[in-house]
Structure 1
């Protein structure tokens, strides 16, 4: 069982926002304080693309096929994990945390795990595969504790 010790950081994120929390107490009665919040403005792809999708010639006479447009919204989500990884790396270098718990959906956890620097990855003591970004702080405390107790 992983315990949330005093000073442990908990990062609750989805692909557009992140909440950086620090545990002030112990595992029995976790009390998180907000250290920082990050949010990315990520409008739908239709509002981000400037041009229509391209067309390419097919093998038949006078035939063309449409090409898929870039999914700018999805690209921004993937970039958010890389940006978050860089923020955590900078915080780890400053000595802001010794242990870290990541809370995100499985897909976001995968993107984040792939982007983490080794120095940060070594400080990760647990991962909670849930989306809790829109939950109140007291519910996040209870749900994270419950997930770690069940693991």
Structure 2
């Protein structure tokens, strides 16, 4: 984590596919003091087998028949959550004039966030860290992000 220093008043988004914390550094660059500004939680997302009741479809092309893969409703909901986070983050960045943003998320969630983020937010990102810290207390997150 020592590649970038998180300066005073920078924002840190700690997220996964179900929960996101927007934190602000109210301390110094070398003595992080993160405060929670916003907590965003995804709506309940049942497993795919509970969401889809039909069997996968079949398709016929000429004399060939093949099955169609089952839709992963659980993953679709996670993608929607990433898009919602990106949308809210864009509004927050513009509203609060945020110019430095650090993103911390597991690799899959980080990729989903990257894909969903508008260019205006991408320009504000200083660093990205592929770590799953969202379920830790804020003091533990501080330890992981500081020297």
TM over 0.5: yes
Q: Is the 8 A contact 1:104 1:131 kept in 2?
A: yes
How far residue 126 of structure 1 moved from its aligned partner, in angstroms, is 1.0
Partner of 2:55: 52
Q: What SS is found at the alignment partner of 1:128?
A: strand
TM-score (norm 2): 0.88
Q: Is the 8 A contact 1:100 1:125 kept in 2?
A: yes
Partner of 2:45: 42
How far residue 96 of structure 1 moved from its aligned partner, in angstroms, is 4.8
Q: What SS is found at the alignment partner of 2:71?
A: coil
Q: Is the 8 A contact 1:128 1:144 kept in 2?
A: no
How far residue 65 of structure 1 moved from its aligned partner, in angstroms, is 4.4
Per-residue CA deviation, residues 5-33 of structure 1 (Å, 9 max, x unaligned), is 11111100011110111111112110111
How many residues are paired up?
143
Which whole-Å CA distance do the structure 2 matches of 1:96 and 1:19 have between them? 18
When the two chains are superposed, the root-mean-square deviation of aligned CA atoms in Å is 1.7
Which of 17, 22, 30 lines up with 1:28 in the alignment? 30
Q: Are residues 1:95 and 2:96 paired?
A: yes
Partner of 1:107: 108
